[in-house]
Structure 1
Amino acid sequence: MGHLKTLIGATVLAASLGLASAAAAAPDLAAMSAGERIAFTKAMPKGGELHNHISGAVFPETLLAWAAEDGRCVDVPKLALAPPPCDRPGLRPAAEAIVDGELYSDLLNSFSTRQPGFLGRSGHDQFFGVFDRIGGLGPGRGGDMLAVVMDDLAHQNTFYLEAMITPQGGPAAALGLKVGLKDDLAQMKAEIDAAGLPDLVRAAIAGTDAMEARARQVLACGKPAARPGCQVTIRYLVQTIRVLPPEATFAQLQLGVALVQADKRWVGLQMVAPEDHPTALANYGLHMQMVGFLTGRGQLAPVALHAGELTFDYAPPEHLRDHIAQAVRVAGARRIGHGVDLPHEIGAEALVAEMARDGILVEVNLTSNSVILELGPEEHPYGWLRDRGVPVSLSTDDAGLLRIDLSHEYERAHAYGATYEDLKRSARNALAFSFLVGEGLWADPGRYRQPVRACRGQIGASAPRAACAALVASSDKAREQWRHEALLAAFEAAAAPARRR
């Protein structure tokens, strides 16, 4: 907590000097050099990250080091990890492979998108193929991955994460396949429950306990040498896989809803895997119906969906016409991941007006959209969404695979027309539109001009008072927002003298 106390202490000092508000002299990103912007966005409190796949968040150098420690193998022809024994044809021990300079470099390329056109693959194919190539690491490093991501965020002055993970994904899919696809979704749900879904919920909770215990161990939480990552608040989104047979996807979704209702650490549902995959395209409408049915259109479990991660290079026009509309209007999604095909949707202006009115946030992944879909600043709808009042928040998608961090995305947003006020709003949006429970600090989330009555005149103070203190104590969302506002005030106070030099 020392890092946080220091920043909050700076906030108190700044307030006493009359520096806590930077509104009169907002930082000008355009006037900064690239190096200055990088340092600035690295230090800036970014609220949190809402779109982070833990399996793709760790850099390949770390994955290979773990593979060597765990006695895993490298499949040399495939440039992939594999389970032992390593004396089979084409395999080498990972510990041996990583000291072979040429092979090590090829493995880093195979496990990331750092080398455009590696082995003749497009960015899209390289990106989505990585997960199979690193799957040989095995399931035992989930807690280590979580610790890496937590510590990385803390070093970027960011302390909230909604991590996407697939708990008990294989067993849940097996239940769905056993029951089979039914026209009557209620009947299918009942049969999957009877086939053993409650046991998988208990197993998922136990797995979460073990993963978090390992992360705390790695970070030395509760000890004098505790690392900054211990300060990060974690919540989880249940990843479900859209390229499986639909009955298997249904069972994963059903498990997700049950898990959200049973364990407050799990706060919502997601659907992942390539949206342009033939199975995903063929079943998209059915998937939206399934999500809407199982979640009561978001009433039983909050919904955030990958939707509209498409261009004409990867899908014909008919699939760019209504994916986001279905996610919002049929499935009840409160957040959309990527959403880059939104301008192509039928009635696009009406849809964005609806999203702005209802506070449906778009999770914006600039580097991911550039690498996978080749969308640069001129083609990306980020500026259009922002100008139409749709809440947006910057995120990484798969930071390790893309070789970026969250600060990189904040710096990159300058090329897409973002101002400092846009970045500050993105950071606040990451908490206001999170799936944390409880009332927030703001009466106007997305605008941030009007705190709730209990906290008026107190935002950015060192400690809440009276009714505001009661709100912060009782609400997970208000507590995280209060911490962020204190960090933001300290950051702006510290940045002001540097801008005057």
Structure 2
Amino acid sequence: MIARYWAAASLAFALVGQGAQAAPAVARMTGGELTAFTRAMPKGGELHNHISGAIFAETLLAWAVEDGLCINAKTLAVTPACQPGEDLKPASTIKTDEVLRAAMIDSFSVRNPGFLDRSGHDQFFGSFGRFGAAGARREGDMLAHVMDNLARQNTYYLEAMVTPQGVASRVRGAQVGWKGGDLALQKTANSAAGLESLVAAAIADTDAMEARARSLMKCGTPVAQPGCQVTVRYLVQTSRVAPPEQTFAQLQLGVALVTADKRWVGLQMVAPEDHPLSITHYSLHMRMVDFLTDHGRTAKAALHAGELSMDYATPEELRYHVAEAVRVAGARRIGHGVDLPLETGAEALAAEMAAKGVLVEVNLSSNAAILGVSGKAHPYAWLRQRGVPVSLSTDDAGILRIDLSHEYARAADDGASYGDLKASARNAIAFSFLTGEGLWSDPGVYRRPAKACARQIGRAEPKPGACADLIAASDKAREQWRHERLLAAFEAAAR
């Protein structure tokens, strides 16, 4: 690291040691210093990551070439096969056609604001359909990319959003049909139709995805990539823009999968929250999650909620989405939460979330690109001031052309202190859905270590006894121990 970076970092840590706010020191870093600082900083984990949207366009296009796919030069989309038509070209055309290659990268990302006169919102959500064929059958490749990129940013825990047996579960739901809102009857009918039989296939798919990722990263060999050290858990993505019977079937399969395989740790609902079907069925979806998870007792939920602004929703719709996700569905985490200050009784809701420990996954670049909400308009500082636990995440790093370190640097530019960044990193593990007791008695505050590990956190190894036993028995404590060890080394190097 350059000397000036270390000088800025040393000042930050000196201020922390004096009990002062470290924000001025981080704020005084140059762009390069802040980039180096946040990349080297251990960031705990990534809780909001759609791996299908995490891959940069250049990689997706390279896969399209390798797999012999085609490009529609009119729609700027990858297609599975080259059918007759003047707009279709072999993907390999991008090797010599720089204009087409640049247009495809623009089509798959938000790097070019106003591309084809689309809003950031429309460009973002539309891109999945344009690049989807390039990522088909590449789940393991995508996972390897995400894991290795995180490890190279000193970050070793990931909760990845994936859709297990997505088509098959929706087909089962469609075959059963909608039972008029009787959720118990709906569940029974799905089970009678063999919905839970898809669990075995979903587990086999998970095994294959992980095996492919580990093979690509050469795990277990002398040349293993850093990503092999990343611990991965999965959230079941379900679609909120499908007919109710299909959404319910996906959720029901998700609960069964979480029960059967410890790698799958919770539920999510994805797709535009402002879509007409999302709006129409929002309250129904929250009741579905509540019913199927027994208000979070059977399976945990981390729900996209409040990914809205007045550009994309009416004042009426901005009044209740986060509240229902927390109070009706029993969500343990909220993805985005941008509209929270606009909700009815916002201050009381924030206080309730702080008291219950309901974390908000903050996606600064995503919210700026999709909703046009950034800087002081973003509720990130408002949430911190009210004690709501928050953690920075990327959402869809490839589409946004960012990484997790970028989000930490952006937060610092927006006024977050080093202490805020440090809390975000710790929160990413403390509020994860990893099993077991944590190292902290006060997650979100981090002043009281668990009694078993008092005066040991940050050491290379725990002393034999109660602390070592806790770490051996708890997935969460084990990840926290690793993070605190890395954090202690990072801070010591800057003094």
CA contact (8 A) 1:22 1:492 kept: no
CA contact (8 A) 1:20 1:493 kept: no
Counterpart in the other structure of 1:246: 244
Deviation at 1:464, TM superposition (A): 0.7
Q: Secondary structure at the match of 2:137?
A: helix
Q: Secondary structure at the match of 1:306?
A: strand
Please state if 1:423 is matched with 2:421: yes
Letter aligned with residue 251 of structure 1: A
Deviation per residue, 1:445-464 (Å, 9 max, x gap): 00000000000000100101
Q: Secondary structure at the match of 2:131?
A: helix
Moved more, 20-29 or 147-156: 20-29
Deviation at 1:99, TM superposition (A): 2.6
Cα RMSD after superposing both structures = 1.3
Please state if 1:470 is matched with 2:440: no
Counterpart in the other structure of 2:131: 134
> What is the aligned length?
478
CA contact (8 A) 2:27 2:413 kept: no
Counterpart in the other structure of 1:71: 68
Counterpart in the other structure of 1:212: 210
For residues 273-292 of structure 1, what are the structure 2 equivalents within 5 Å? Answer: 273-292=271-290
> Within 1, Cα distance between the matches of 2:296 and 2:117?
42
> Within 1, Cα distance between the matches of 2:190 and 2:14?
55
Letter aligned with residue 81 of structure 2: P
Please state if 1:94 is matched with 2:91: yes
Q: Secondary structure at the match of 2:32?
A: helix
> Within 2, Cα distance between the matches of 1:305 and 1:373?
18
Higher relative contact order by CA 8 Å / sep ≥ 6: 1 or 2? 1
Deviation at 1:198, TM superposition (A): 2.0
Letter aligned with residue 449 of structure 2: P
Q: Secondary structure at the match of 2:313?
A: coil
Identity of aligned residues (%): 67
CA contact (8 A) 2:429 2:480 kept: yes
CA contact (8 A) 1:72 1:86 kept: no
Letter aligned with residue 320 of structure 2: D
> Within 2, Cα distance between the matches of 1:293 and 1:59?
38
Deviation at 1:376, TM superposition (A): 1.4
> Within 2, Cα distance between the matches of 1:24 and 1:295?
46
Q: Secondary structure at the match of 1:303?
A: strand
Moved more, 416-425 or 173-182: 173-182
Counterpart in the other structure of 1:233: 231
CA contact (8 A) 2:435 2:475 kept: yes
Deviation at 1:89, TM superposition (A): 3.4
Deviation at 1:347, TM superposition (A): 0.5
- Any gaps of 5 or more consecutive residues in structure 1? 1-18, 497-501
Letter aligned with residue 485 of structure 2: A
Deviation at 1:473, TM superposition (A): 0.5
Q: Secondary structure at the match of 1:327?
A: helix
CA contact (8 A) 1:20 1:490 kept: no
TM-score by length of 2: 0.95
Residues 1:311 and 1:21: Cα distance change in structure 2 (over 3 Å): closer
Q: Secondary structure at the match of 2:158?
A: strand
> Within 2, Cα distance between the matches of 1:377 and 1:21?
25
TM-score by length of 1: 0.94
For residues 395-474 of structure 1, what are the structure 2 equivalents within 5 Å? Answer: 395-465=393-463, 466-474=465-473
Which of 27, 32, 35 pairs up with 1:35?
32
Residues 1:100 and 1:154: Cα distance change in structure 2 (over 3 Å): same
Letter aligned with residue 484 of structure 1: H
CA contact (8 A) 2:27 2:415 kept: no
Deviation at 1:136, TM superposition (A): 1.8
For residues 54-203 of structure 1, what are the structure 2 equivalents within 5 Å? Answer: 54-85=51-82, 87-137=84-134, 139-182=136-179, 183-203=181-201
- Any gaps of 5 or more consecutive residues in structure 2? 1-12
For residues 274-353 of structure 1, what are the structure 2 equivalents within 5 Å? Answer: 274-353=272-351
Deviation at 1:219, TM superposition (A): 0.1
Deviation at 1:32, TM superposition (A): 1.1
CA contact (8 A) 2:73 2:87 kept: yes
Moved more, 97-106 or 391-400: 97-106
> Within 2, Cα distance between the matches of 1:376 and 1:266?
33
Q: Secondary structure at the match of 2:285?
A: helix
